[in-house]
Amino acid sequence: MRVFQNSALYPAYLRRLESLRSRNWTFEQQLAAFLRDGFGAPHILLPVIAGHAEAFFTNADDQILQRQWAQEHGIPAAASMESILLAQVEEHRAEIFYNLDPMRYQSDFVRRLPACVRKSLAWRAAPSPRADFSAYDLLMCNFKGILESYKKRGWRTAYFSPAHHPALDPYGYNADRPTDIIFVGGYSRHHRRRRELLEAVAGLQDRYRVAFYLDRSRFTRLAESFPGRFLPLATHRRPNKIRRISRPGVFGMELYTALSRAKIVLNGAIDMAGEDRGNLRCFEAMGCGALMVSDRGSYPEGMVDGVTMLTYGKPLEAVGVIEAALAAPERSLEIARSAHELMTVAYSKANQWRQFKRLVDGL
């Protein structure tokens, strides 16, 4: 099975990626640097990680990477990013096109795929009311509510899960965890529940070592700048007690290092998630051997309150759950180890790849 997997970069990650590569590197060298850093690792298929010739991976929105490939294959510098991606699919003779960026490449693109492509699959775990995914043979994610919304539009769907990257195992076995509580994620005025949660937990900073790695929105950065202080942007600013323990966002191996040095990883779904749970941070936190404390909801199989994680209801409840966990370190460690075992066994890359092949065979 010749698989072509396309992904996309989070804009805030670009700065880190630029520090990891040189612009005069080949396409393969640049791609290798990205894959080594593990950004989005739970989504990357096993054949890509293993370097199999039958698998091709790229980030089609990475202009430096893509134009390097185009240059190496004699494609004019003025070629569009879409035409470069189509040329890559054709050159690879891909039978399966698996897209993690379907909002950018919707049905009109799928209909232009070369004839070698037998099936097209996409991952999308967010409401997409104005999107057209009808040309895809299968839409996948691990949020059942999202899948149901796609199904109502007549699209074929399937449950598919992120997986544990084996490169995280050294992080998972780390016993030196000087940070008591960590949160990593985006911050904007639209994250209402997240702001309430962070403000409540930030109140623990006088007794525990708490760190928030926040990727601030553009408006939040502006509101907190010197000129922004004189603008009516108060709703975009972080409360002072959050700001005191905030650090810049972290990605890739820097993220995994931060998670592996924490006893507790605080997690919370964003407002649009409904009752569905199982965002990428769940897999990363458990894979790095930390105790995950997350909000109640419908989680993937094996993520069970009191067994592989701890849950809270309202934001203030999270404070009590965290304090109780830190007061019972042996029980907390047992839960964290059970979570790590769940990742390495049930959510292994081998299992993810077997599931992917079953879904393709069923089309």
* pLDDT at 234 (0 to 100): 73
What phi and psi, each to the nearest 5 degrees, are found at residue 231? -110, 155
Q: What confidence category does residue 230 fall into, taking pLDDT thresholds of 50, 70 and 90?
A: low
* pLDDT at 236 (0 to 100): 75
Average of per-residue pLDDT across 219-231: 71
Q: What confidence category does residue 44 fall into, taking pLDDT thresholds of 50, 70 and 90?
A: very high
Q: What confidence category does residue 192 fall into, taking pLDDT thresholds of 50, 70 and 90?
A: confident
Q: Please report, for the domain that includes residue 338, its CATH number.
A: 3.40.50.2000
Q: What confidence category does residue 224 fall into, taking pLDDT thresholds of 50, 70 and 90?
A: low
Residues 212 and 254 in one domain: yes
- pLDDT of 5 > 70? The answer is yes
| Total tally of structural domains belonging to the chain | 2
Average of per-residue pLDDT across 234-255: 90
Residue with the larger pLDDT of the pair 77 and 48? 48
Q: What whole-number distance in Å separates Cα of residue 351 and Cα of residue 336?
A: 21
Structure tokens of 225? 């700048």
The one-character DSSP state at 305 is B
* pLDDT at 231 (0 to 100): 73
Residue with the larger pLDDT of the pair 148 and 227? 148
Residues 314 and 325 in one domain: yes
Residue with the larger pLDDT of the pair 146 and 225? 146
Structure tokens of 296? 């109640």
Helix (H) or strand (E) holding 99: strand 96-99
- pLDDT of 273 > 60? The answer is no
* pLDDT at 111 (0 to 100): 98
**pLDDT digits 0-9 by tens, 331-362:** 999 999 999 999 999 999 999 999 999 999 99
Q: What confidence category does residue 167 fall into, taking pLDDT thresholds of 50, 70 and 90?
A: confident
* pLDDT at 223 (0 to 100): 63
- pLDDT of 271 > 70? The answer is no
Residues 120 and 228 in one domain: no
Residues 256 and 324 in one domain: yes
Residues 13 and 143 in one domain: yes
Helix (H) or strand (E) holding 360: helix 349-361
The sheet that has 119-123: what strands, in order across it?
Answer: 55-59, 3-7, 96-99, 119-123, 138-141, 157-159
List C-alpha distances in Å: 162 to 111, 146, 232.
Answer: 27, 16, 41
Residues 254 and 284 in one domain: yes
* pLDDT at 217 (0 to 100): 74
Domain with 66, as residue range(s), is 3-163+348-361
Handedness of CA 123, 124, 130, 134 (dihedral sign): positive
Residues 180 and 154 in one domain: no
Structure tokens of 27? 């396409």
Query: How many Cβ atoms from other residues are within 10 Å of residue 322's Cβ?
Result: 25
Residues 151 and 246 in one domain: no
* pLDDT at 228 (0 to 100): 64
Residues 77 and 151 in one domain: yes
Residues 294 and 327 in one domain: yes
**pLDDT digits 0-9 by tens, 199-219:** 999 999 999 999 999 998 787
- pLDDT of 326 > 60? The answer is yes
Q: What whole-number distance in Å separates Cα of residue 251 and Cα of residue 100?
A: 18
* pLDDT at 104 (0 to 100): 97
Mean pLDDT of the chain: 94
Residues 241 and 143 in one domain: no
- pLDDT of 243 > 70? The answer is yes
Handedness of CA 17, 19, 20, 26 (dihedral sign): positive
What phi and psi, each to the nearest 5 degrees, are found at residue 114? -65, 160
Residues 333 and 352 in one domain: no
Decide: 168 and 146 in contact? Cβ < 8 Å.
Answer: no
- pLDDT of 73 > 70? The answer is yes
Longest pairwise C-alpha distance within the chain: 62
